[in-house]
Structure 1
Amino acid sequence: MKIGFVTEYFPKSKEMDIKGGAEVAAFNEAFYLSTDNEITVLTSYEEGMERDSQIGNIKVLACGKKRSYTQKGSFKNRLSFMKSAYDVGKKLNLDIIVGYNFITYVSAWKISKKLNIPCVARYHDVWINSWIKNVGIFGIFGEIIERYLLSRNLALIVAVSNFTAKNLENYFPKEKIATVHNIVEFNNVTSEKYNDTTISCVSRLVEYKRIEDLILAMDILVKEYPDLKCKIIGTGPMEEKIRLMIHDRSLNDNIELCGFVEKHIDVLKVINSSSIFCLPSEVEGFGIVIVEALGCEVPFVASNIPPVMEASGEKGGLFFQVRDSNDLAKKIKLILDNKDLYEKLKNEGKEQYNKYHGKYIAKKLENLYKKTIDRYNINK
């Protein structure tokens, strides 16, 4: 098959210089599907990229004006990218086109109409009626785009979780929705454990990720564990507010904001070196980083939201009541104080991680895409 991917961002090399979950999904799926298929990726033109490049068997076309990574705002640049991706994509020879996030779904749809091929949306989460709550007033544009997309006659939506698939049924025909979990796979990570007991967290610093709950939990825990450390990887608009929270609570010696870590392997090393991983988010489509923690055999504490519980199989960690920093601190303490529980969570987590290997997931996607192309061609 000749498969086109439209993803707002994509790594520049196999070193996985990736910023977010949608980009991780796009890269992993492109990598495994490229073994037996022709994969062409349309993505943003970032610093250090060529307009036309190759990563293994993946052809990467950088579209639009040179732009920096952003997860919020920048509407003019994002609209410009959407148009540029369409202008490049409409000239390609493809059998099927796949969009990977809200910025790319519309471009993929428009390309599919021009080329008369099926369009697939790889769907991470449904935010209808929640856009403004999650990202602020400018979320109205996301609300409009998502409602527009789900009113289109897409050939298929592939949700990353059963939770997302169920939510989609309120807005899109059930018979054209499938669930295929994300690929989460990496080579064994070699890194020493930190000298101090350390909690790691990998998250964009945005409101719905609830990093402030982890700060408040740390404020509780350091009274009993004064040497406890926390490393938070990620950037975002909440960074200054979080820095202020850390300073006001005299936690500068306990909490380190690591910012953006360019190489994915270095992110994994931080997780692997820590004692516990934490994901306090109240909004997730799947929770790739939780599965990465399972693969590193690092027990986690995460908010009790359905997508994360589904991704983990409720194994390898403990869940706290979302937005409850006291409960978060309690669950972290439970793991810190119970060695038998700690070992149990490590062992069952590794077993759950093995379910997300690339070849297994890619074969599911490949079969779905073949069936979608055949069905589309019959109905032309």
Structure 2
Amino acid sequence: MKIAIVTDAIYPYMVGGSEIRNHEIAKRLVKKGHDVHIYGVKLWEGSDEKVVEGVRIHGVSKYRRLYNSRGKRNVLAPLILSLKLPFYLSGKKFDIIETAAFNSPNCFSTWFISKVNDSKLVFVWHQFFGNYFLDYFGTVKGTIAKFIEKWTTFLTPNNICVSKHAGKCLETQGVMKKNIQVIYNGVDFSLINSAKPSNKKYDLIFVGRLNYQKNLKLLINSVNLLVKDFPKLRVCVIGEGAERDNLISLICEKGLESHFDFLGRVDNRKKVISYMKSSKIFVLPSRLEGFPLTIVEANAAGLPIITTKTKYNNTSEYVKHGVNGMLTGLDKTDFSLKVKTLLENPKLRNKLSRNGRKISKDFDWDRIADEIEDYYLDVLRK
């Protein structure tokens, strides 16, 4: 098969969950003999085209500001990319064109290209935003975003959802169940097994973008409660984002500077796993999540997970309370209580750790790439 994956950012120049997912699947499909290309915003210097682990990546547009000053998606980057795509892909025949459904401009652009080039179009739904758009963009922009998201559900019958929750959301929008395939994100066990614990030891670790939806203020406010019982508590924060300065200001305001290490963006994924292995608990206080890679990686690295159970956070589909982690609300008292419970109870922590390692084995990227390949072939047979 000849496959085009269209995205805004491309690994390794952006190391987010969707970028890693695209790369892990693409490189495995290449090893199976398929011709895979990834198209997106050019975030690197030099030639517009490169080969990364056998995968051909293409920089279509050069507008690099993917997030605005408030840490929210900048609509110009995907819009410019989507306008250039038809010209860039003109005359290029692909069997499959895949794009993430959260990037609406790309959805409409790839729909047009698939019709012109007679390709099969596949959308990947990392999450369905729905009413969350109203909180994220405000009433006017949020209502427009909701309408556009609803419209994208009519563009293709081929939908991959990375969680059952996303699939159920599509069903509420009128998408038939037969047009939805749930295929989870995965973990690279060769990476996990090769990483050794870092010399730096932490109690808690967070990995992700420092933006509104990740809700790091909840973690900071929870730590402010915890330091009374754990005066030597250490927290590792890996990631960059527009909220960084505000978060550091809040930490200084509460006098918590000695408890937090902000390591910034760590592109070396093996190093990230090393930091996980030298920590006790993985924390994810997000308002909204699809199926983040970090929770499976954390379990595979031997960490129990503490995350929030909210209307827009799908991680509770993977994290089972008292099994491989603990679930909380968006309340700092509840969150800090769950952390305290695990820090004070090594026996429980080890139990959740063992369970997490076992559960994570079902999410190997090799098996998931096989599922993707089978799904693509089924789509082509329709």
The TM-score with structure 1 as length reference comes to: 0.91
Contact 1:194 1:274 in 2 (8 A): no
* Deviation for aligned residue 1:320: 1.3
* Deviation for aligned residue 1:269: 2.0
1:102 aligns with 2:102: yes
Give the alignment partner of residue 21 of structure 1, picking from 11, 14, 17. 17
Deviations 1:256-313 (A, max 9, x none): 2222222222222222221111001121111221111001101221112462122235
Contact 1:193 1:275 in 2 (8 A): no
Contact 1:121 1:157 in 2 (8 A): yes
1:362 aligns with 2:369: yes
- Equivalent residue number for residue 35 of structure 2: 38
Give the alignment partner of residue 249 of structure 1, picking from 254, 279, 285. 254
Q: Which AA in structure 2 matches 1:274?
A: S
Deviations 1:300-348 (A, max 9, x none): 2111246212223553211112x11111111111111112111111111
* Deviation for aligned residue 1:197: 4.2
Distance 1:372 1:49 in 2: 36
- Equivalent residue number for residue 316 of structure 1: 324
* Deviation for aligned residue 1:193: 5.3
Q: How many residues align?
A: 369
* Change in 2 beyond 3 A, CA 1:58/1:263: same
Distance 2:366 2:110 in 1: 25
Contact 2:319 2:326 in 1 (8 A): no
Q: Which AA in structure 2 matches 1:151?
A: F
Give the alignment partner of residue 283 of structure 2, picking from 257, 264, 278. 278
Contact 2:66 2:74 in 1 (8 A): no
Distance 1:250 1:47 in 2: 39
Q: Which AA in structure 2 matches 1:371?
A: D
**Unmatched runs of 5 consecutive residues or more in structure 1:** 376-380
Contact 1:6 1:42 in 2 (8 A): yes
Contact 1:211 1:280 in 2 (8 A): yes
Give the alignment partner of residue 179 of structure 1, picking from 179, 182, 185. 182
Q: Which AA in structure 2 matches 1:280?
A: P
Percentage of pairs with the same residue: 25
Q: Which AA in structure 2 matches 1:116?
A: D
* Deviation for aligned residue 1:117: 1.6
- Equivalent residue number for residue 59 of structure 2: 62
Give the alignment partner of residue 151 of structure 1, picking from 151, 154, 161. 154
**Unmatched runs of 5 consecutive residues or more in structure 2:** none
1:132 aligns with 2:140: no
Distance 1:243 1:148 in 2: 40
* Change in 2 beyond 3 A, CA 1:198/1:248: same
* Deviation for aligned residue 1:109: 1.6
Distance 1:355 1:300 in 2: 17
SS in 1 for 2:318: helix
Deviations 1:81-112 (A, max 9, x none): 11222322232121111002432322322221
Distance 2:378 2:266 in 1: 39
1:352 aligns with 2:359: yes
SS in 1 for 2:256: coil
Q: Which AA in structure 2 matches 1:275?
A: K
* Change in 2 beyond 3 A, CA 1:91/1:267: farther
* Change in 2 beyond 3 A, CA 1:193/1:94: closer
Alignment of 1:86-101 (within 5 A): 86-101=86-101
1:294 aligns with 2:296: no
Range 132-141 or range 310-319, more displaced: 132-141
* Deviation for aligned residue 1:11: 1.8
Q: Which AA in structure 2 matches 1:125?
A: Q
Distance 1:176 1:259 in 2: 40
Contact 1:39 1:59 in 2 (8 A): yes
* Change in 2 beyond 3 A, CA 1:112/1:185: same
Q: Which AA in structure 2 matches 1:33?
A: L
SS in 2 for 1:282: coil
* Change in 2 beyond 3 A, CA 1:259/1:56: closer
Runs of 4+ in 1 over 4 A off after TM superposition: 135-141, 193-197
Alignment of 1:326-345 (within 5 A): 326-345=333-352
Contact 1:215 1:246 in 2 (8 A): yes
Alignment of 1:260-275 (within 5 A): 260-275=265-280
Q: Which AA in structure 2 matches 1:175?
A: K
Give the alignment partner of residue 166 of structure 1, picking from 165, 168, 171. 168
* Change in 2 beyond 3 A, CA 1:220/1:334: same
